[in-house]
Homo-oligomer: A and B are copies of this chain.
Amino acid sequence: MERLLDIDEVVAHVKEYLAQGDIDHATQTIADLRPADQAEVFSELSEGQQTQVLRKLNAEDSADILEELHDEEAADVVESLHDADLVRIIDEMEPDEAVDLLHELPPERAKSILSALSDPNEIRPLLIHPDESAGGVMTTEFLALRRRMSVAEALNAIRLWAPEPEIEESLSHLFVVDAEGRLVGVISLYKLITSPPDARIGEIMDRDVIFVRAAIDQEESARIMARYDLVALPVVDEQGILLGIITHDDLVDVLEEETTEDIQRIGGSEPLDKPYLDSSTLYIAKRRVGWLLLLFVTEMFTGTVLRHFSRELESVVALTYFIPLLIGTGGNAGSQTTATIIRSLAVGEIDWHDALRVLWHEMRTGIMLGAVMGIVGFARALMWGTGYDIALAVAVALTMVVLWANTVGSVLPLLAEKLHIDPAIVSGPFMSTLVDATGLFIYLQIAKAILGV
């Protein structure tokens, strides 16, 4: 396969088969796809069609599909399945994904299904970890080696172990534990293959293994994996006992999820916990209305400022014409700054300790940008036939407002980070709103001084 499949085309075929009552063909078409594609095609079907297909698909394919769907969507899909069918499917799911799905089911049903699973003990320990913690994304399906094993014994153990295909597919490392199950080392599959069969694991393993505690945030685990190029990250409890492993696919999922949350916050709304088109408009509106109202209230200070200068505005109406231009430019400069700072904080390029350097960086940038905007604004105002004094007021105000926006735009995200608030919320809309009222004040104060009104 070279590029992404044309999903729409496959969906059209499947729907055609279903319309003709040819469920076997429809199911086979889906079964032949890769899990990610199966899930996408599946989620384009109507609820009734989904149930038809799910009843025909084998448990393994069904499990793959449910793993790829968002948790809420998966929960909706299985609502109409018989418990026995659902148990067969969940038995085939990766433990961390199975737990996510169980969390979404009505508690009574989740309980009865859990007890009917063939290996509930693989799943039970995961239930206690919060969904967004390292413990919540790890898989408990792993093979731990012992220090005293020889390489030949370890390879034998691997041969006897028959994990889910997803796990064996990406297996590159095995972790080593002591008699109490405490994590003591790691060895790559490559190293196992290339070491003499009688070498002891404890002697050839790497003791300097990177791990995380189950309670830490999933984003921090993902950052560690990304930083150290890890394909697998072991998760341990307070005693150092190996509990599970965060795998490569989880890393990518977490990074994508966190980026989506950041970008939605930067846009000025609370993150959606479902794909966009699966979210109801009422839900989307609810996620947005809080910020919109808060910003509205903040924005009302602009009215206060304008009232304060009502005498000046009435005597020189031309001042009004530049209001949106001035506060708009301030907001834009502020957005540019915050977006850059938020991202630098997120990837760990800068932190609170760099606050002064960042501030100095942005103030110098702000002076340069402010000067350019001031000159352009001055020329433009004159071209509009505005008086020389008003043009001067606009130019000076533009320079000051851009400098001010860069200053505020760099300080606020750093301050948020320091206060353990997600810096992404101090974003574009927040910044523009804040700069609007203050920028307006700067503008009208300067105009008052220069025009002498």
Specify which of A190, A228, A321, A433 lies most central, judged by the most chain B CB atoms within 10 Å of its CB. A190
Instruction: Give A205 Cβ to nearest chain B Cβ, in Å.
Output: 13
Mask: chain A, 177-217; 1 = CB below 8 Å from B; 0 = not? 00000000000111111100000000000001111110010
The 8 Å CB contact of A266, one of B2, B339, B373, is B339
The complex is assembled from copies of this chain, and their number is 2
Stretch at the interface among A20-28, A49-57, A98-106, A353-361: A353-361
Asked whether A295 lies within 8 Å of B329 as measured between CB atoms, the reply is yes
A155-B151 Cα distance, complex, nearest whole Å: 15
Give A327's nearest chain B residue, CB to CB: B324
Surface stretch bound by B, among A74-82, A125-133, A168-176, A445-453? A168-176
* Shortest CB distance A265–B (Å): 8
Which A201-245 residues have C-beta < 8 A from chain B?
A: 208-213, 216, 220, 223-229, 231
Assess whether B332 is in contact with A231, with CB atoms less than 8 Å apart. Answer: no
The reply to whether A252 and B224 form a contact with Cβ atoms under 8 Å apart is: no
- A272 / chain B contacts, CB cutoff of 8 Å: 340
Q: Does A415 touch B at the CB level, under 8 Å?
A: no
Residue in B4, B168, B194, B339 whose beta carbon sits within 8 Å of that of A267 in the complex: B339
Chain B minimum-CB-distance residue to A357: B277
Using Cβ atoms and an 8 Å threshold, which residues of chain B touch A353? Answer: 8
Q: Contacting A354 at CB < 8 Å: which of B255, B277, B436?
A: B277
Per-position binary interface string of chain A over residues 258-301, scored 1 when its CB falls under 8 Å from any chain B CB and 0 otherwise: 01101110111100100111000110110011011101100110
A339–B268 CB distance below 8 A: yes
Task: Report chain B residues within 8 Å CB of A328.
Answer: 295-296, 299, 302, 327, 432-433, 436
Task: Say whether B376 contacts A212, CB under 8 Å.
Answer: no
Q: Which of B296, B313, B338 contacts A320 (CB 8 A)?
A: B313
The stretch among A83-91, A113-121, A303-311 that forms the contact with chain B is: A303-311
Interface residues on A, range: 35 or more
Provide the residues of chain B in CB contact with A321, threshold 8 Å.
302-303, 306-307
CB distance from A5 to the nearest CB of B (A): 10
Contacts of A211 in B (CB 8 A): 1-2
How far is B216's CA from A131's CA once the two chains are assembled, in angstroms? 36
A110 touches B (CB below 8 Å): no
Residue A148 lies at the interface, judged by CB distance under 8 Å to chain B: no
Given contacts A159-B194, A213-B2, whether A365 and B288 have CB atoms under 8 Å apart is: yes
- Can you name 24 A-B residue pairings with CB atoms under 8 Å? A1-B209, A35-B228, A169-B229, A170-B229, A171-B190, A172-B172, A189-B189, A229-B248, A248-B248, A263-B343, A268-B332, A285-B372, A292-B332, A293-B372, A293-B376, A295-B328, A295-B329, A302-B325, A314-B317, A323-B323, A324-B440, A327-B328, A328-B436, A428-B429
A interface residues, Cβ below 8 angstroms from B: 1-4, 8, 34-36, 155, 158-159, 166, 168-172, 188-194, 208-213, 216, 220, 223-229, 231, 248-249, 251-252, 255-256, 259-260, 262-264, 266-269, 272, 275-277, 281-282, 284-285, 288-289, 291-293, 295-296, 299-300, 302-303, 306-307, 310, 313-314, 317, 320-325, 327-329, 331-333, 335-344, 347-350, 353-354, 357-358, 361, 364-365, 368-369, 372-373, 376-377, 380, 384, 402, 427-429, 432-433, 436-437, 440
